[in-house]
Amino acid sequence: MSGQQGMGDGFLTTTLDAITNWGRANSIWPMPMGLSCCAIEMMAMAGPRYDIARFGAEVFRFSPRQSDLMIVAGTVTYKMATVVKKIWDQMPEPKWCIAMGACSSSGGMFRSYPVVQGIDQFLPVDVYVPGCPPRPDAVIHAVMEIQEKIKRQKDSFQDSFLAEDDAPQVRQPESPKEKEKLTVSE
Amino acid sequence: MARQKIYALLEDRDATLTFEEDDPLEQTMVLNMGPQHPATHGVLRVVLKLDGERVVHAVPELGYLHRAMEKLAENKSYHEFMPYTDRLDYMSPYSNNTALCLAVEKLAEIEVPERATYIRTIACELARISSHLLSIGALVMDTGALSVFLWTFQEREKIYDIFDLLTGARFTISHCRVGGIASDLSKECAELIIRWLKQFKPKIQEWRKLLDRNRIFIERLEGVGVISKEDAIAIGLSGPNLRASGVHYDIRRDEPYLAYNDLDFEIPTFENGDSYARYQMRMLEMEESVKIIEQALRKLPKGEVRNEDAKKTFPWKDEIYHSMESLIHDFMMTDSGIQMPKGEIYHAIEAPKGELGFYIQSRGEGVPWRLKIRSPSFCNLQALPKLVEGGMIADVVIIIGSLDPVMGEADK
Amino acid sequence: MLNKVSIALQSAFPKALLETTKFRNELTFRVKKENIREISQFLKEELGFNLCVDICGADRFNEEPRFEVIYNLMNLEHNTRIRLKVWLEEAKPHLPSVISVWPAADWYERETYDMFGIVFVNHPDMRRIYMPEDFEYFPMRKEFPLVGVPGSIPLPEFDERAQNLDAGKRYNQGQRI
């Protein structure tokens, strides 16, 4: 479909994609959603020994508007879930999410009434990090996985540079019957 | 129109600017701080009512990290609950382990070998240093200086190395057992502690040289968040925050537990009760902790590190592989837990944040009927409205930092 | 000191003091719930129990009366600790607040209310402290399941559009991302 618009999977776009992805992957700005124990290990990751700056992700931004990776570190309770979601919604696209530790991945050892059993019930998680809490090396590995994922992403150049007005128009289905036809033909 | 008038008045150097009564700038304003805020030390939410820069009213709201620790305790045996205590005050997991074990041992009247007691003492003091390090680092970061935070974190990493060698885990350790500890202190580990202490002592002096008489730092902290002796007792402060207000009370000395009775150390106190006193309290306590560790290492007795009473403590792992009785005991302990007498006890220790107590009601089963955690951070936070009201908005962050709450413990 | 406390309480409140137990050298007094405020006042002013360490509730479940509230007190001068205990019926779990005696009781009482539904009369701010305001249950009661009641606290909805796996493809189809 995109080929008809003149920006297909050609040589130019893939190269531009690669450049965009390279830039994005090496300058991740994490949003430290430090909730409990894992937050300390996340700080250790940013600290002098493990030094996440080697991967270009040391710029911890406490404002969601300035960040593109959310590290949910710690137990998410139902009371906190709405807050986490609100902050996630404020982050600009494209954005990624790491569920750090057993609690945010699956509820972990807290199988109890106030704890959300895994943040993937309301957030799209890209990388799960096991451990209670995981060692900083494991979180660095997770950041590297995110980098790999960014590098594999397609059409990222178009996403970042095409304005909304230039978006290719697709005819909206009018009646339910026609809509059905459309989906079948696709 | 009104705005243009204000601008015109601002141009004139001699004019005094007055606002009309219904001007929104004249009214009080409500500011919501947290739960996601870089300086709230976790997921604390404080709703502040402001009159300009001044705080009129403050309401802390908790519960964003309520994880039902007490309800979980009622559904777990005493040993199963041990890993949960690690996650209470996650700056100093060893203190929490020890507090639970001491409470259970008091309830079941289990004797602990002396060597285990000494190792627990050493580890508890290491945990205290590690907790105070983070507290000071975060406090100084709140005042606007980042480098001290990186320095203290460097030392914390070294303490983690020691815990790694001592317990097998770096952060959440669960090393205590009812009736002793999980593994002995090896010779290499003792040497590592001594080596670390040697280079740590000059570091404290270095930091104190930078901070103690630093004018910017003092002006930021002195006279901020003052609480008097009577108020501190009335509101239920404990630990370093209480001692900073001039109450000479420390459970390590007044109700000695572990090996503190045999060790020689001082309890520093300050009279001012402000943020600067609370900061100094922690610095001095670290120095005392260094002294305690050195003495305990010197006095470290030889012998067993776990009670041999098979009905009350877990057998060693290698025994399980070789002896049938040990295997049966291991099954029994894992399945039904320690058989406790009927009754209720309260035991408190001096955790880095204050008095950490466990109140246990037992009905003679392997699980507690009711287990209440008296967490110091919860009680210390209660003083927050009293401390910030009447002060400036910029000081709220400093006061939270100087109270040093951990939300894992405050919310349970 | 502990004996002194026992004798003093016995002579001052002979009718309100119901039971005295000593276990592992710790004293517990069970008192009438109507007199809890006067007894607290007496303990603080006459016997010097100036620090209220903790207040907590407990559920006796299949026994009557069902609830109990435990006051954990301390005398900072002599380093003595005692406990007060009050029993409450399930039908009307109300008792007087001791916040005027120890200001520290504020949050402890709120926590007890949040966990057990025990109402402290004359407390200025009787709200839940941990759970959301609209939560209907009292979670530390024994009949409340550990894993909770599904759907009792709302969870934000999963936003399908937030998945950026095929963002480019969807963009090309003309959807907003």
Per-domain boundaries in chain A = 3-166
Q: Report pLDDT digits (tens) over B39-97.
A: 667 788 888 888 878 888 888 888 888 988 899 998 888 888 889 998 888 888 899 99
Q: How many domains does chain C have?
A: 1
Q: Which residues of A line the annotated binding site for [4Fe-4S] cluster? A: 37-38, 103, 132
Could you tell me which of A3, A23, A5, A27 has the C-alpha nearest to residue A157?
A23
- Give the mean model confidence (pLDDT) for residues B293-316: 86
More confident site: B196 or B42? B196
Q: Which of C54, C102, C140 is nearest residue B357 as measured by Cβ atoms?
A: C54
Label residue B200 by pLDDT band (50, 70, 90).
very high
Touching check for C79 and chain B: CB below 8 Å? yes
Chain A closest CA to C64's CA: distance in Å?
A: 27
Chain A closest CA to C127's CA: distance in Å?
A: 16
Beta bridge partners of C80: C75
Return the number of CB contacts < 8 Å for A and C. Answer: 85
Contacts of C24 in chain B (CB under 8 A): 106-107, 109, 343, 345
- The domain spanning residue C12 has which CATH number? 3.30.460.80
Residue of B nearest to A62 (CA): B38
Query: Which residues, 6+ apart, have CB-to-CB distance to A105 below 8 Å?
Result: A99, A118, A119, A120, A125, A128, A129, A130
Could you tell me which of C25, C100, C135, C115 has the C-alpha nearest to residue C70?
C115
SS3 for B61? strand
Give chains near C: 3+ CB pairs under 8 A: A, B
Q: Which of B66, B84, B160 is nearest residue A114 as measured by Cβ atoms?
A: B66
Structural domain of C62: 1-134
Q: Which of A121, A124, A170 is nearest residue C155 as measured by Cβ atoms?
A: A121
pTM of the full predicted structure?
0.85
Residue B259 has pLDDT above 60, yes or no: yes
Q: Helix, strand, coil proportions of chain C in percent (round to 5)?
A: 25, 25, 50
Touching check for C62 and chain A: CB below 8 Å? no
User: B70–C53: do the CB atoms touch at under 8 Å?
Assistant: no
Is-contact A109 A132, C-beta < 8 A?
A: yes
Q: Which residues of A line the annotated binding site? A: 37-38, 103, 132
Could you tell me which of A83, C6, C84 has the C-alpha nearest to residue B64?
A83
Contacts of C28 in chain B (CB under 8 A): 344
Angle between helices A11-25 and A136-152 (to 10 degrees): 160
Contacts of C142 in chain A (CB under 8 A): none
Query: Is there a cis peptide before residue A133, judged by omega within 30 degrees of 0?
Result: yes
Touching check for C161 and chain A: CB below 8 Å? no
Q: Which of C159, C168, C174 is nearest residue A154 as measured by Cβ atoms?
A: C168
Domain annotation covers residue C175? no
User: A83–B36: do the CB atoms touch at under 8 Å?
Assistant: yes
Query: Which residues, 6+ apart, have CB-to-CB distance to C89 below 8 Å?
Result: C64, C65, C66, C67
Touching check for A5 and chain C: CB below 8 Å? yes
What phi and psi values does residue C30 have, to the nearest 5 degrees?
-100, 125
Lowest-confidence pick of A56-65, A69-78, A136-145: A56-65
Domain annotation covers residue C20? yes
Residue with tokens 């934000």: C156
Touching check for C173 and chain A: CB below 8 Å? yes
Beta bridge partners of C68: C58, C87
Residue B197's pLDDT is what?
92
Q: Report pLDDT digits (tens) over C41-74.
A: 888 888 888 888 999 999 988 888 889 999 999 8
Residue A8 has pLDDT above 60, yes or no: no
Label residue A4 by pLDDT band (50, 70, 90).
very low
Chain B closest CA to A27's CA: distance in Å?
A: 21
What's the CATH class of domain A3-166?
A: alpha beta
Domain annotation covers residue C172? no
Domain annotation covers residue C75? yes
Residue B121's pLDDT is what?
92
- Give the mean model confidence (pLDDT) for residues A133-152: 89
More confident site: B13 or B185? B185
Chain A closest CA to B411's CA: distance in Å?
A: 11
Domain annotation covers residue C128? yes
Instruction: Please state, for a pLDDT cut of 70, what percent of chain B lies above it.
Output: 94
